[in-house]
Amino acid sequence: MAKNKGLLIAAAAMLTEGVVLAVWGRRYLELMENEGLMDLGKRIVRRLDIRSPRAYAAIGVAEAAFGLMMLRRAQAAP
């Protein structure tokens, strides 16, 4: 059960982060960098120096979709 709870928390975090990245884009990365909360994935996206809001939206939607898939898998697990 503890493993399942951890997967639920991680999936919800990934889903939320994907949605925020899709909506806020570059501002989200700047906020996370200013707060010292950059992980490897955010650093890579930041260093690519993407300017297009559509690119951020696509990356965010993909991350949210993966988070949703993980969330469904966690809920279906016994």
Counting the structural domains of the chain, the total is: 1
Helix (H, G, I), strand (E, B) or coil at 51: coil
**Rounded to two decimals, what is the model's pTM?**
0.85
Do residues 62 and 18 lie in contact, with contact meaning Cβ atoms separated by under 8 Å? Answer: yes
Please state, in angstroms and rounded to a whole number, the distance separating the CA atoms of residues 2 and 60.
28
**Domain span including residue 52:** 2-76
pLDDT, one tens digit per residue, over 2-35 is 568 888 999 999 999 999 999 999 999 999 999 9
Instruction: List Cβ neighbours of 15 (8 Å cut-off, separation of 6 or more).
Output: 63, 64, 67, 68, 70, 71
Q: What is the pLDDT of residue 44?
A: 93
CA 64 to chain centre: 6
pLDDT, one tens digit per residue, over 31-74 is 999 999 999 989 999 899 999 999 999 999 999 999 999 999 88
